[in-house]
Chain A
Amino acid sequence: MSAAPAYGEDKGGSAGPGEPEYGHDPASGGIFSSDYKRHDDLKEMLDTNKDSLKLEAMKTIVAMIARGKNASDLFPAVVKNVACKNIEVKKLVYVYLVRYAEEQQDLALLSISTFQRGLKDPNQLIRASALRVLSSIRVPIIVPIMMLAIKEAASDMSPYVRKTAAHAIPKLYSLDSDQKDQLIEVIEKLLADKTTLVAGSVVMAFEEVCPERIDLIHKNYRKLCNLLIDVEEWGQVVIISMLTRYARTQFLSPTQNESLLEENPEKAFYGSEEDEAKGPGSEEAATAALPARKPYVMDPDHRLLLRNTKPLLQSRSAAVVMAVAQLYFHLAPKAEVGVIAKALVRLLRSHSEVQYVVLQNVATMSIKRRGMFEPYLKSFYIRSTDPTQIKILKLEVLTNLANETNTPTVLREFQTYIRSMDKDFVAATIQAIGRCATNIGRVRDTCLNGLVQLLSNRDELVVAESVVVIKKLLQMQPAQHGEIIKHLAKLTDNIQVPMARASILWLIGEYCEHVPKIAPDVLRKMAKSFTAEEDIVKLQIINLAAKLYLTNSKQTKLLTQYVLSLAKYDQNYDIRDRARFTRQLIVPSEQGGALSRHAKKLFLAPKPAPVLESSFKDRDHFQLGSLSHLLNAKATGYQELPDWPEEAPDPSVRNVEVPEWTKCSNREKRKEKEKPFYSDSEGESGPTESADSDPESESASDSKSSSESGSGESSSESDSEDQEEEKGRSSESEQSEEEGEKRKMKKKKKVPEGQGEGSSSEEDSDSSSGSSESERTSETEEEQVEPASWRKKTPPSGKSAPVAKEISLLDLEDFTPPSVQPVSPPTIVSTSLATDLEGLTLTDSPLVPSLLSPVVGVGRQELLHRVAGEGLAVDYTFSRQPFSGDPHMVSVHIHFSNSSDTPIKGLHVGTPKLPAGISIQEFPEIESLAPGESVTAVMGINFCDSTQAANFQLCTQTRQFYVSIQPPVGELMAPVFMSENEFKKEQDLRGGR
């Protein structure tokens, strides 16, 4: 069983590098120990160009590392293989490198370039793995390289790489804490990430690097709440713990209104009288001091957190359940905390280590909120097979839960425990009985009788423990218990446990007037055995002697002097001191005497009865579930759980200005399929948005009201959204093509959700962004109203601009924009429909058709790319007007531009091959298009109400291009103008919305 020799042996093994590696443990089978090779052999194997030999060598080396043996002298041979093609060799080399790079910094630098190359790899997994290893090499000289790599990876388009970047942040921070400021920037950036993959890891980085920067969380708070359920379990724990702290700084205590709601039935049920009294003093005081305070209303964000974490009580992970439980304990109104009890009780069926931790926390909770666990009393009953440490914790909980009504049951259970073979547990049970007796007056006598019976127990430990507890109980009402004291006095002959002997002596001394005959006799016996006693008993003998001397000096004077003389020469200085002190105090002397006159008062003053308290009392000043709580001591890196603020900080800090672009995020699209499956409450960034996207989700509608109460800002957000939508309709198309493209794509994504409410768009949102405004041609009444409202909204749109741009980069890789293919028939009808519908607006006054007239720049589609067209680029737009020649035709604007350096001549439509019913009215031939010049022509197409493509040829003098125009459904509709009221009527008729 001795561990030390084995350990020494191991250490010996690792001490001498290069010594032959013999498996010193014959039990370690396998291929690795059977043929431990000398390091030289390994080096040789690594130098060959056979992958199988390299692999075998690496496996041997890794096995050595696993056993804690030193393999550092192989570093040069191993590091050479860092670029090996074989993936397993490479992996094992990485393992080796991370383990030894710190010791061999110069050589480790040789491998860096391999990883730098890996960072640029087109495969995201290779990029991630390169960053992972690079950041794990603890070599200070590469800090700048790591910093750069992390920064780049943080904006990688792969969420997996971004996750790896988040993991790398704490690594770099621990290597060089001077990088903190730069790292915080990266953290800030990654916190804004909306993918579940990144969320947990970046919060972890936040907690390790800058947990004090709570301000970074504001903008991401709602998103984190909404994402939480889809984050992996480990991330959930970290996020919940951080949000608990956040909530404590940002919201008001939900318990402060409880005193106002005294009649609350829930409360009557849960809060027993102690609960009330023991409630956090600060809170009560705060309420008392501010009676005029407006009634407490929970911040909707506070509610959001509680609501979104609650389902996680059903997680399979004990750590997540505990995290939610502590969140509820620290943040929820009293009436709601109860829900966690059931989940915690469920965890008691888990592994014993889990039980151990959970019971510690339940013990703390059950002191504050006893009512919560009362229904589960029986779940804490103890099995004889439970480990002792679990038994003792359960006992603690049972004791905390005992009250007037259930004590008989609890005590009956305790009786069973007292007969247990596990003596530590029996001792703890006796203590527990003592606590029940002190806390619940009604059962005190029953308990005392039970304990007295235990005094005749055969086991000395049981007796001793009982004595100690009885002593404490007797202090409460000594007068009635002379008999018990006598009984105890007799025990001094037999009982040897020092603590018990000391307790009996103290009791006899303290209540010597109740046992006047026995007390001197006890002292006599003790004086005899004084020298053989334990220190703690000796001190009590002195104490007893002093007290008897003061009350009954006639009988005990000599005995006392004898005891004091013995004590004077004791080996222990405490005892010598005590003897000297006592003698001065009780024996009147000529000089002083001032004190000895009061000696009786000093020794026999009535003493308050001890309070038997749980060791878990007030442990909840540590955040529950934390290591610090478990140890009841502050662990390194523990973040204090702040007290609730007196006044709530500004809630509007959590409003998010740019809810729009989250919609376009990568993940949104990627997840499109599973998202509706797993998250009902969609919107990530802000409440307003989630309300739009999912009307049936209760959380969304709720949080909508939150943002409204918060500030006006959020409502303007939605305006700016509308505003963007409107842009296309009224603006002149001088904007660059690119921008148009971008906007289009944005709309595509947005509209499916906006469809339902698009009709309500207000007039004042009918504005457009700065660039197009100045180029307006038509001035209408509307537009004169507009500038004012536009200015009002400048800040949000101004802010949104750069962000939107950044995101559009991501969009590009998600949506292959139509411009890439010359022929791009929109395949998904719904999206194309959306593109069409966005242009339709409603106003009270019918718009003059001329206003719409040349609508260019909206939905520009590419007909012919300039590369394919050898310099000729052709776009087309649907102008949304009836074609002047033929009312059945749709007018299509064709934009030609010549980007070559020679003029293009004789542009015309060649012989069309058209499906049945489709006809084309060609545009007049364009004779010449000079380099750099653009020209627009109008042609009419009758699509015959189908979405079939019209295929035709575009001919120049020298070339022919086959092109095709496929109309989105919406473009086949004829525009109709109607007032809003008319529209609503129509809508109702068709049962829309």
Chain B
Amino acid sequence: MIHSLFLINCSGDIFLEKHWKSVVSQSVCDYFFEAQEKAADVENVPPVISTPHHYLISIYRDKLFFVSVIQTEVPPLFVIEFLHRVADTFQDYFGECSEAAIKDNVVIVYELLEEMLDNGFPLATESNILKELIKPPTILRSVVNSITGSSNVGDTLPTGQLSNIPWRRAGVKYTNNEAYFDVVEEIDAIIDKSDDVSFHPCIRFKRWESERVLSFIPPDGNFRLISYRVSSQNLVAIPVYVKHCISFKENSSCGRFDITIGPKQNMGKTIEGITVTVHMPKVVLNMNLTPTQGSYTFDPVTKVLTWDVGKITPQKLPSLKGLVNLQSGAPKPEENPSLNIQFKIQQLAISGLKVNRLDMYGEKYKPFKGVKYVTKAGKFQVRT
């Protein structure tokens, strides 16, 4: 299945390679670099590339390319899903999935990769099991290790792998037993009918199908229990509105930019953490704007305008106004850029979903239970 893995940073350095079968030369990555050059843009590198002897399947995560080498037929999603699982694991272990973190922990990374695949076929991918096999680094432990020469490898043999519930390690014990539920909802700009759910493997499908009850043995630690997709034909309450006026004058080197954000149907909750991101047309050289609140930045290279708004106070609606400098002589942009909006509403699940009750069976202790609701903007785009 998966033959080899190369980790490549944005400047094209291959900084880690791992082979699960015979060694494949780094030169195979030249095909990838070729495709990358052609794509111009990192996110347009095709995830699947065919070369004379191999296939390259890659993902782009946190400014890194994970390029896997495949030799025979395999469902591409299988590989993509696995690579994301690898990146998730790094994130989980090192707090970030970055070149520096990976280089600093290269031995742990290697040990992880060794456990995650056997001969290219996934072996242990659940974080609970991996953490039993290979302990994540902590500052204390690395200090202790460097003094005592002890290791990160678990010295007790892990048993989780032998279990039929691979997501939970055996014999979990804590002094405090707590179960927290974060209900995080994201609003996409386009919302449509019917709900749809995907589950963590611990959830018992049949029980859900027959009783609409989520019954499960929880993994130890953080995990995503379900993802759901809700919608209704009658437009779901969109909590913000945007007034915008963006115009570019023909044959002149400037344009006007004016946007105002206001709350709408926010159900008495404060809308916070608002960020507006705009990809300006290429001809825009610079922007001179004045925000009534928050701060803005404009990157003249990527042409991305970011306005960090913060909270909305209905008394004084935040706005951002000013002039746009265009490249002189260039034709004016035909299209106004779309506004991408991020926001957060605490203590609100916009769909009305609630965690009704949490029952626990099979243990004597009573865990502390907590539920938190957050509504966020997902892919929230305003066309102008």
Which chain A residues have a beta carbon within 8 Å of chain B's beta carbons? 1-4, 6-7, 10-11, 25, 27-30, 32-33, 50-53, 55-56, 59, 62-63, 65-68, 86-89, 91-92, 94-95, 99, 102, 123-126, 132, 135-136, 138, 158-160, 164, 167-168, 170-171, 174, 196-197, 201, 204, 208, 229-230, 232-234, 237, 241, 311, 314-319, 321-323, 342-343, 345-346, 349, 351-354, 356-358, 375-376, 378-379, 381, 383-385, 387-389, 416, 419-421, 458-459, 625-628, 630-631, 633, 635-639, 667, 670-671, 674, 677-680
**For the complex, what is the distance from the CA of A126 to the CA of B156, rounded to whole Å?**
12
- The verdict on B370 contacting chain A, using a C-beta distance below 8 Å, is no
- Which residues in window 2-49 of B have CB below 8 A to A? 11-19, 21-23, 26-27, 29-30, 33, 36, 41, 43-44, 46-48
A636 touches B71 (CB 8 A): yes
**CB neighbours of A171 from chain B (8 A):** 119
Bound form: Cα–Cα A625–B75 in Å: 6
Q: List 7 A-B contacts (CB under 8 A).
A: A7-B27, A66-B17, A67-B17, A319-B77, A346-B227, A389-B44, A631-B50
Of all chain B residues, the one with the shortest Cβ separation from A419 is B335
User: Interface size bucket, B side?
Assistant: 35 or more
Interface string of B73-94 (1 = CB under 8 A from A): 1111110111010000000000
CB distance from A372 to the nearest CB of B (A): 14
Given contacts A3-B33, A167-B118, A322 and B75 within 8 Å (CB-CB): yes
Task: Say whether B73 contacts A626, CB under 8 Å.
Answer: yes
B77 touches A674 (CB 8 A): no
B26 with A322: CB separation less than 8 A: no
* CB-based nearest B residue for A383: B381
Q: Give the contacting residue for A637; candidates B14, B47, B73, B111; CB below 8 A.
A: B73
Point out the residues of chain A lying under 8 angstroms from B43, CB to CB: 352, 387
Is the beta-carbon distance between A385 and B340 smaller than 8 angstroms? yes
Interface of A is mostly: helix
CB of A76 to closest CB in B, whole Å = 20
A458 lies within 8 A of B334 (CB): yes
B127 contacts A by Cβ under 8 Å:
no
Q: How far is the CA of A927 from the CA of B122 in the complex (A)?
A: 69
B121: chain A residues at CB < 8 Å are 167, 170, 201, 204, 234
A90 to B, closest residue via Cβ: B153
Chain A contacts of B166 at CB under 8 A?
232
| Chain A proximity mask over B284-325: 1 for CB below 8 Å, otherwise 0 | 000000000000000000000000000000000000000000
A95 near B75 with CB under 8 A, answer no
What's the least CB distance linking A242 to chain B, in Å?
12
Query: Does the CB pair B75–A27 fall under 8 Å?
Result: no
Given contacts A167-B118, A353-B59, A674-B217, contact A318 B80 (CB under 8 A): yes
Q: Is B268 an interface residue (CB 8 A)?
A: no
A229 touches B149 (CB 8 A): no
Contact call A626/B111, Cβ cutoff below 8 A = no
Given the interface pairs A353-B47, A421-B333, the reply to whether A342 lies near B73 with Cβ below 8 Å is: no
| CB of B155 within 8 Å of the partner chain | yes
Chain A residues, Cβ within 8 Å of B36: 3
CB distance from B58 to the nearest CB of A (A): 8
Known: A7-B14, A68-B26, A234-B125. 10 other contacts (CB 8 A): A7-B29, A10-B14, A67-B17, A67-B106, A92-B111, A351-B84, A378-B190, A631-B50, A674-B164, A674-B165
CA distance A124 to B55 in the complex (A): 36
What residue of chain B has the Cβ atom nearest to residue A14's Cβ? B26
Q: Tally A-B pairs: CB < 8 A.
A: 293
Q: Is the CB of B110 within 8 A of A95?
A: yes
Contacts of A66 in B (CB 8 A): 16-18, 106, 109-110
Tell me the minimal C-beta distance from B32 to chain A in angstroms.
Answer: 9
CB-based contact A357/B77 at 8 Å = yes
Cβ contacts under 8 Å, A2 to chain B? 12
Q: Is the C-beta of B337 less than 8 angstroms from some C-beta in chain A? A: yes
Contacting pair A314 B199 (CB below 8 A): yes
**Taking the nearest CB of chain B, how far is it from the CB of A339, in angstroms?**
11
A86 touches B151 (CB 8 A): yes
A-binding segment of B173-181, B202-210, B239-247, B348-356: B202-210
A-facing residues in B345-374 (Cβ within 8 Å): none
- Among candidates B14, B22, B61, B229, residue contacting A349 with C-beta atoms closer than 8 Å: B229
**Minimum distance in angstroms from B122 CB to a CB of chain A:** 4
Kindly report which residue of chain A lies nearest to residue B111, judged by CB atoms.
A91
What's the minimum C-beta distance from A167 to chain B, rounded to whole angstroms?
Answer: 5
Top 6 A-B pairs ranked by shortest CB distance?
A52-B149, A3-B12, A637-B72, A88-B151, A419-B335, A88-B153
Q: Is the CB–CB distance between B15 and A67 below 8 Å?
A: yes
Tell me which of A50, A88, A123, A311 contacts B152 (CB under 8 A).
A88
**Inside 8 A of B281's CB, which chain A residues have their CB?**
421
Residues of the A chain whose Cβ atoms lie less than 8 Å from the Cβ of B334: 419, 458-459
Bound-state Cα–Cα, A315 to B43, Å: 26
Residue from A53, A123, A319, A387 within 8 A of B75 (CB atoms): A319
B149-A627 in contact (CB<8A): no
Which residues from chain B contact A55 at a C-beta distance below 8 Å?
Answer: 149, 151
Q: What chain B residues lie within 8 Å of A679 (beta carbons)?
A: 206
B72 partner, pick from A237, A356, A636, beta carbons under 8 A: A636
For residue A458, which residue of chain B has the nearest CB? B331
Quick check: A27 and B73 within 8 Å, CB to CB?
A: no
**Which partner residue on chain A sits nearest B207 by CB separation?**
A680
CB distance from B255 to the nearest CB of A (A): 15
Are A136 and B119 touching (Cβ within 8 A)?
yes
Residues of B within 8 A of A29 (CB): 100, 103-104
**Considering the chains assembled together, what is the distance between the CA atoms of A172 and B124 in angstroms?**
21
Interface mask (B163-204 → A, CB under 8 Å = 1, otherwise 0): 011100000000000000000000011101110111111001
Instruction: Decide yes or no: A315 and B201 within 8 Å by CB, A7-B27, A91-B111, A383-B379 being known contacts.
Output: yes
- A96 to B74 CA separation, bound complex (whole angstroms): 27
A674 / chain B contacts, CB cutoff of 8 Å: 164-165, 217
- B70 contact set on A, CB distance < 8 A: 627
Nearest chain B residue, comparing its CB with the CB of A312: B205
A674 to B362 Cα, complex, angstroms: 11
Q: Contacts A67-B16, A385-B340 hold; do A10 and B224 have CB atoms under 8 A apart?
A: no
Q: Which residue of A lies closest to B99 (CB)?
A: A27
- If the complex has contacts A1-B11, A132-B118, are A314 and B77 also in contact, measured as CB distance less than 8 A? no
Among the listed A6, A91, A635, A680, which residue makes an inter-chain contact with B55, where contact means beta carbons less than 8 Å apart?
A635
Q: Closest residue to A420 on the B side, CB-wise?
A: B335
Is B123 among interface residues, defined by CB-CB distance under 8 A?
Answer: yes
Kindly provide the distance from the CB of A345 to the nearest chain B CB, expressed in whole angstroms: 8
Kindly identify which residue among B26, B76, B192, B204 contacts A357, using a CB–CB cutoff of 8 Å: B76
Q: B41 touches which one: A7, A27, A387 (CB < 8 A)?
A: A387
Contact partner of A159 (CB less than 8 A), chosen from B44, B158, B162, is B162
Tell me if B47 and A357 are in contact (CB < 8 A).
yes
- Alpha-carbon separation in the docked complex, A51 to B145 (Å): 12
Task: Determine if A351 and B80 form an interchain contact, defined as CB atoms under 8 angstroms apart.
Answer: yes
Report if B265 contacts A (CB, 8 A).
no
Hey, which chain B residues are within 8 Å of A241, CB to CB? 75
Q: How far is the CA of A631 from the CA of B73 in the complex (A)?
A: 11
CA distance in complex: A633, B73 (Å): 11
Residues of B within 8 A of A388 (CB): 41, 44
The answer to whether A356 touches B47, judged by C-beta atoms less than 8 angstroms apart, is: yes
A378 adjacent to B27 (CB under 8 Å): no
CB distance from A760 to the nearest CB of B (A): 28
| B282 part of interface (Cβ distance < 8 Å) | yes
Q: Is B157 an interface residue (CB 8 A)?
A: yes
CA distance A55 to B23 in the complex (A): 24
For the complex formed, measure the closest distance between the CB of A323 and the CB atoms of chain B, giving whole angstroms.
7
Closest-CB distance, B125 to chain A (whole angstroms): 7
Known: A62-B106, A351-B80. Contact between A160 and B162, CB under 8 A?
yes
B residues within 8 A CB of A381? 190
CB-CB under 8 A from A50, the residues of chain B are: 149
Q: Are B84 and A6 in contact (CB under 8 A)?
A: no
Using Cβ atoms and an 8 Å threshold, which residues of chain A touch B328?
none
Closest to A89 in B: B151
Minimum distance in angstroms from B171 CB to a CB of chain A: 14
B21 near A174: Cβ-Cβ < 8 Å? yes
Q: Which residues of B contact A102 (CB under 8 A)?
A: 22-23
